[in-house]
Structure 1
Amino acid sequence: MDDASRWACLFPDLVRLIGWRVLAGDLLDYVRFRAVCPLWRSSTVCPLGRGLVDERFHPRLWVLLPEGRALFPGHSELRGYVRFFNLSTGLSVRARLPLFEDHRILDSVDGLVLLLQERDGAVRLLHPFTGDIAELPPLSTLVSDVAAKSKLSSIWDLSDFRKISATSVSVSSDGLITVMILLSMICHVAFATTSGGSDRQWTVSSWSLSPMWRSVSFQGRLYILQRSCYNSDPQILQIDPPHHNKEILSPPKLIATCPGKIQPPYHLIQCDSDVLAIGCSDKPNSLHLLVYRLADLILNKFTPVESIGGNVLFANIDRSLSVSARALPTIVGDTIVKLKPRDIHLGEYHLKGGTWLRTTDESTCGLEPSHSNLIHRIFWCHHNR
């Protein structure tokens, strides 16, 4: 028996176990694994139809990436084609998704895409690689709920409800999907579920957030870094999805307070299995950045980290990302890419040495750059959604 035959004769339980290990790395690797032979395909779970309700199949390592010439996903010139970028390997794939021809992107999280059909206001959650779609209540129900709860609703335009700072997706044991969105303009959080019924609607929180905040989605929750006033220490809040059959969002929980020596601009970034808080040093005329692990702050440990696992952090005002240095051959690991303080260019801050380098000669003043540079495309990938 040759080697190929031996691999094809593995016990189904062993094939299934190996398949789960492969899936823990990347969904597309799992798809390739299942395509090796009929036995491997029959011994493993097919992701089609389960891409949304089984969180193991969420393509967390993939993000939407603008094309050249600042063509963002959904642009009419792209004719429904979308490019995805793997944050671990740097692999780029281009696929045609018909929904992008008549839908607008509201946000993306864990590789999933939240879409709005502008014609009728329908909101859909799309798994771009399996094609699975979850129907959510129309956006108009969110507008109605805000109008019923807020005296200031008359000052907001419909477009204000399309501006989302962060989205979280969680799935219950019975397959119910809950989506929470942080509305940038009105500083409220709203949620909706995929449950059926004629009373399906988006529900907005009865509480609001301070206007001075940064956000990140992590493991189905929203995390907020905010200052209640200018001179106060920044606080980190956790927002949990509502419990099953609950119709309201519980107020945010204060889980950590950052030390006063971290100054704005702030950023919250998911990096591997951690959430990181980034800010500037409070020393006069200092250009140094400070990075703290949320897990440390919760334990009142205020020592900045000196390594971020060899990753590269893209700290943008709109959204921040962590990318493996393997995917970016021109940048060394343990680097933060952001606008250099008191400058108009992107810079690379090397965490271990505390030094800055200019990433590119292109200025970020005015319109965003042409996106011909991969670094710029990643940095601006959530801009102009």
Structure 2
Amino acid sequence: MAPHHSSTAVGTRARTARANRRDWANLTAGPAGLIAEAVLADDVAGYLRFRSVCGMWRRCTEPPHAHGSLDSRFHPRRWIMLPEVFAANVDRRDFLNVSTGERIRVDLPELRDQLVIGATSGGLLVLLCGNNTRDMHLLNPLTRQLTALPNAASLLRGQENITWLSELEKLQVSSAGLADSSTVALYFDDRKMELAVAKPGDERWSCRPRPEPGFIISALSFANRFYCASKKGINVVDAIAAVKQPQLAVVVEEGEPTHESYLVDNDDELIRVQQAPVGTKTPRYHAHRVDLAVGQMVRIYDLRGRAVFVGDDGRSVSVHAGLSSSIKADTVYWCKCSGDGTLGIAAYHVKNGWTTWNLHAWPGSMVDYLSRYVCRSEDTVVPAPTHRCRIFKVAATVAGPRKRKGKRKRKANSKVIGNDWVN
């Protein structure tokens, strides 16, 4: 016979369960603050979602706008903006987290009449006003904070009579980031100028002319410092000494010059991927871990299960191999975009030494997204000088509060299954 439960006993257990249930909505400031700090340490996107859950959690945490726009705690991490051609419509742009595969869509009216001329490795965007003012800004696409930068006219000194398209080409930023907590650094792959630094509020950029062709091969913002790979080793921008022009301090000195050298943030570890010397056997690219503490580079034969995409102008991104079944771990994908937009990709496995040439990705696949990002293909839509430039507007699924409590949002896929390669 089934045991008999009195209504009194059932009611007591129900009241006890309700009493022991945690009231998350009324979480006090202390526990809520600790949780928010832990979430913020991972990524500001999670922090913004935490604040959007309810009014109590929002009141218990500080808004990002209460801090300076260059406070790196509130900067995106490992987000890249997808090319506009793949956006849902002309008013929206998608962002991809290269570690988790999550995609978000953000509405940014701040980008109206702006040109996106560069990006940091974490996801900040360098903007140029699409009219004759040449105003520049640094935009945080998740918190929607704008940082005013010096006018671009100081970057074009002595080149005032060039055409609009030539001017825009010279202002394309190969790499951008923070040189310290208050200094923005830009690297240009230009024949006359290679580095520029400035602080918010400065009247003009402090520019460093190129001493010789190809002196700096690539640059990367890492741990709030701006590192440059040159023919002779690795340098860091000394923002304190950059009064008249950016100064470089030697971090790692190397006597073996190379024409292809890429700095990569490999999941919070700084590595350098470099073309092997002429005459050596495969793999074509060697990888080294940069030990900043002792000023040395250590040869490594794996990428910690990750893959690295590099472009022909120095941009790089490290991704988790699980983003796509077509992305292999411990592999360097070298990408080049031709004039007609066709992508050519070669794969070099740093552990096994095999090489695959002439790869082509399906349009809209994960490999295609990543390849176009490192090639800076379609990062910017170039308007005619007489037309307004509308790069993108994205709907704030991250920054705003939730509109409905009961309706759950569809979870983004963490993996893209399928073959990205064109046979």
- In the alignment, the residues of structure 2 paired with residue 226 and residue 311 of structure 1 have an alpha-carbon distance, to the nearest angstrom, of 25
Q: What is the 5 A alignment of 1:1-385?
A: 1=18, 5-50=22-67, 52-67=69-84, 71=85, 78-109=89-120, 110-119=122-131, 120-144=133-157, 147=158, 158-169=167-178, 172=181, 177-185=182-190, 186-195=192-201, 200-205=203-208, 208=211, 210-212=213-215, 213-227=217-231, 234-242=232-240, 247-258=243-254, 260=256, 263-282=258-277, 284=279, 286-288=281-283, 289-295=285-291, 298-300=294-296, 303-318=298-313, 319-339=315-335, 345-357=344-356, 360-361=359-360, 371-381=363-373, 382-385=376-379
Deviations 1:309-341, CA, capped at 9 Å, x for gaps: 22211111221111122333432322221259x
TM-score of the superposed pair, with normalisation by structure 2: 0.72
Alignment RMSD: 3.2
- In the alignment, the residues of structure 2 paired with residue 210 and residue 237 of structure 1 have an alpha-carbon distance, to the nearest angstrom, of 17
3-state secondary structure, aligned to 1:5: coil
Deviations 1:186-244, CA, capped at 9 Å, x for gaps: 23321222227xxx2222236746424222222333222222xxxxxx3211113246x
Q: Is the Cα–Cα contact under 8 Å of residues 197 and 246 in structure 2 kept in the other structure? A: no
- In the alignment, the residues of structure 2 paired with residue 84 and residue 305 of structure 1 have an alpha-carbon distance, to the nearest angstrom, of 31
Decide which structure has the larger Cα Rg and report it: 2
State the shift of 1:378 in Å: 0.8
1:170 and 1:14, CA in 2 relative to 1: closer, same or farther beyond 3 A?
A: farther
State the shift of 1:357 in Å: 4.2
State the shift of 1:291 in Å: 0.4
Deviations 1:62-121, CA, capped at 9 Å, x for gaps: 111114xxx288xxx953421111111111122332343311111111211110012121
Amino acid at match of 1:184: D
TM-score of the superposed pair, with normalisation by structure 1: 0.78
State the shift of 1:350 in Å: 2.7
1:80 and 1:9, CA in 2 relative to 1: closer, same or farther beyond 3 A?
A: closer
State the shift of 1:305 in Å: 0.9
Q: Is the Cα–Cα contact under 8 Å of residues 124 and 141 in structure 2 kept in the other structure? A: yes
- In the alignment, the residues of structure 2 paired with residue 13 and residue 314 of structure 1 have an alpha-carbon distance, to the nearest angstrom, of 42
- In the alignment, the residues of structure 2 paired with residue 97 and residue 142 of structure 1 have an alpha-carbon distance, to the nearest angstrom, of 27
- In the alignment, the residues of structure 2 paired with residue 22 and residue 265 of structure 1 have an alpha-carbon distance, to the nearest angstrom, of 37
Q: Is the Cα–Cα contact under 8 Å of residues 280 and 290 in structure 1 kept in the other structure? A: yes
- In the alignment, the residues of structure 1 paired with residue 20 and residue 140 of structure 2 have an alpha-carbon distance, to the nearest angstrom, of 36
Q: Is the Cα–Cα contact under 8 Å of residues 251 and 295 in structure 2 kept in the other structure? A: no
- In the alignment, the residues of structure 2 paired with residue 89 and residue 80 of structure 1 have an alpha-carbon distance, to the nearest angstrom, of 25
1:2 and 1:264, CA in 2 relative to 1: closer, same or farther beyond 3 A?
A: farther
- In the alignment, the residues of structure 2 paired with residue 330 and residue 214 of structure 1 have an alpha-carbon distance, to the nearest angstrom, of 27
3-state secondary structure, aligned to 2:64: coil
Q: Is the Cα–Cα contact under 8 Å of residues 309 and 335 in structure 2 kept in the other structure? A: no
Structure 2 unpaired stretches of 5+? 1-17, 337-342, 380-423
Amino acid at match of 2:126: L
Q: Is the Cα–Cα contact under 8 Å of residues 141 and 201 in structure 1 kept in the other structure? A: yes
3-state secondary structure, aligned to 1:294: strand
Instruction: Pick which of 5-14 and 52-61 moved more.
Output: 5-14
- In the alignment, the residues of structure 2 paired with residue 170 and residue 285 of structure 1 have an alpha-carbon distance, to the nearest angstrom, of 36
1:258 and 1:290, CA in 2 relative to 1: closer, same or farther beyond 3 A?
A: farther
Q: Is the Cα–Cα contact under 8 Å of residues 80 and 98 in structure 1 kept in the other structure? A: no
**1:366 equivalent in structure 2:** none
Q: Is the Cα–Cα contact under 8 Å of residues 312 and 335 in structure 2 kept in the other structure? A: no
3-state secondary structure, aligned to 2:247: coil
Q: Is the Cα–Cα contact under 8 Å of residues 147 and 200 in structure 2 kept in the other structure? A: yes
Instruction: Pick which of 287-296 and 370-379 moved more.
Output: 370-379
Q: Is the Cα–Cα contact under 8 Å of residues 27 and 58 in structure 1 kept in the other structure? A: yes
Deviations 1:219-271, CA, capped at 9 Å, x for gaps: 333222222xxxxxx3211113246xx733452112213463x8543222121
**2:382 equivalent in structure 1:** none
- In the alignment, the residues of structure 1 paired with residue 161 and residue 73 of structure 2 have an alpha-carbon distance, to the nearest angstrom, of 42
- In the alignment, the residues of structure 1 paired with residue 62 and residue 304 of structure 2 have an alpha-carbon distance, to the nearest angstrom, of 32
Amino acid at match of 2:290: L
- In the alignment, the residues of structure 2 paired with residue 317 and residue 66 of structure 1 have an alpha-carbon distance, to the nearest angstrom, of 18
Report percent identity of matched pairs: 24
- In the alignment, the residues of structure 1 paired with residue 220 and residue 180 of structure 2 have an alpha-carbon distance, to the nearest angstrom, of 18
Instruction: Pick which of 200-209 and 107-116 moved more.
Output: 200-209
3-state secondary structure, aligned to 1:195: coil
State the shift of 1:46 in Å: 1.7
* RCO comparison, higher one (Cα < 8 Å, 6+): 2
